[in-house]
Amino acid sequence: MVAAARAAGKCRAHMAFVPNRHGRRRSCGAIIDVVAESARVLAFPAAADAIELRHLRSFVAVAEELNFGRAAERLYITQPALSRQIRSLEQLMGCELLRRTTRRVELTVAGEALLERARALLGDVDEAVAAVQSIGGEIMGRIAGLWKPVAERLGDAGDLQEQRAAYEALLAHFDVPAGLQVRPVNAGGVQALVVGENAAAPPGVLYLHGGGFVLGSAFGHRPLAGALALAAGRGVLVADYRLAPEHPFPAALDDTYAAYRWMLEHGGDPARLVIGGDGSGGGLAVSLLLRLRDEDLPLPAGAALLCPTADVEAATLDLDPNDPVHRLLGDFWHGCAVSYLGGHAPDDPIANPILGDLSGLPPFLIQAATEDLLLGEAHALNDRAREHGVRTELQLYPTDAHVFHLFWSFLPEAAAAIEAAGQFVRAQTAALGGAATA
């Protein structure tokens, strides 16, 4: 994760938090570079590498304590490690900063010149990190607040109509991006909305909304579809497929199948089409691809799957039975699966596409949140696709909201993910042969 701040004058200061080999971020590994507008790195004289914050923190600790033992305890590192940090800094700076004897440590003139500047720099960095973390906490608190009314109505005893109303109320907090048009269409007998800069033009993306097959609507997903339309440069058709339990499997699949065929019949070159979906809509998109392949119908150029759940039983869902939130999610998803299947066999690969043979399907882009309880579903689908020779890319974003893309208007990770999904659509539809490029 990279935080960038524009400095005064004609250069930019970039602070990159470097992950360790386990992928965890460590603040002491931040590297400060000064990059000119021409993108040339302005290094210290004779410096073969960038100066890291840990070098400066080590120097300041020793300079203030004038004792390596106390400084090492203060930084929770060993004295040999601390000595290595100081030697590295002096090599990078090209001068001696601390004069050491067996009995004392003292600053050199160069060390005295660096001390106050290093203190100020570290103070600014700490302040910036604290501000970013505070904002991040506020953002996640805002997301939790938006989900709270929905969560309060979930569970075995929840009223489905109240759940649907609460979910639509959550979606209603967001607006369609300015400048976009929304046009209702009858897509092969399925009510749908086209969202794009020119809603009269043939749409290039078929989007299937999430909601566990029982919640959600095309209307509620207009803002997310609009953001994707802008990123992809293509109109997006959001199918208002029938929901369970009133309409169990295969009703939703039949509707999305009809909508896709309508797109083909209305000027949609399959090599210029992409299917997308979030959550259960991502799983439904894979089911649709399997049906199209099995019926020898033209496949689209790719599938953009946002936090997809391709296993209707969500076998990877690892829940703590003692956590009430986990129990609530588990009960809700179990109810969704029962409602969707409506007595249909759960081992049918069309209904439960994680069990299907995915060979011959177009490329996948799979996106997921690193702390999503349903993250395992994204990994499982990615692994399954690779096993069957499907070109797939799994992109992980450091947040904990399922289908975090809904919050693109204020969550940076969501905006970045939608931009990446748009680039995927552009790349796949520009490739010669569309779905044949694997």
Domains of the chain from N-terminus onward? 2-132 (1.10.10.10), 152-436 (3.40.50.1820)
* Alpha carbon separation from 175 to 182, 194, 362 (Å, rounded): 12, 15, 32
For the chain, the distance separating the N- and C-terminal CA atoms, rounded to the nearest angstrom, is 30
User: Whose CA is closest to 197, among 233, 160, 148, 246?
Assistant: 233
Q: Which of 182, 187, 196 is nearest to 235 (CA)?
A: 196
Tell me which residues of the chain have a pLDDT lower than 50: 1-48, 432-438
CA distance 41 to 44: 10
As a whole number of angstroms, the distance between CA 121 and CA 372 comes to: 36
For 392, phi then psi, to 5°, come to: -140, 150
pLDDT at position 168 is 97
CA distance 207 to 225: 7
Closest CA to 236 of 197, 210, 266, 271: 197
Note whether 383 and 272 are within 8 A (CB).
no
E strands of 17-102, at which residues? 31-36, 98-100
CA distance to 209, 246, 367, 423, per residue, from 410 (Å): 20, 35, 18, 20
* Cα–Cα separations (whole angstroms), residue 64 to 121, 127, 388: 16, 20, 60
Per-residue pLDDT tens digits for 23-67: 333 332 222 232 333 333 334 444 446 789 999 999 999 999 999
Model pLDDT, residue 79: 87
Q: Which long-range contacts (CB under 8 A, 24 or more apart) does 42-45 make?
A: 42/11, 44/92, 44/93, 44/94, 45/94
**Which residues lie across from 33 on neighbouring strands?**
14
pTM, rounded to two decimals: 0.72
Cα(252)–Cα(26) distance, integer angstroms: 45
Condensed to tens digits (0 to 9), the pLDDT of residues 321-369 reads 888 888 888 888 999 999 999 999 999 999 999 999 999 999 999 999 9
Instruction: Find out whether 352 and 261 touch, Cβ atoms under 8 Å.
Output: no
The torsion angles phi and psi of 109, rounded to 5 degrees, stand at -60, -40
Cα–Cα dist 276/67, whole Å: 60
Give the span between the Cα atoms of 91 and 420, in whole angstroms: 41
Element (H, E) at 183: strand 181-187
SS3 of residue 11 by DSSP: strand
The per-residue pLDDT for 31 is 24
Closest CA to 352 of 386, 404, 314: 314
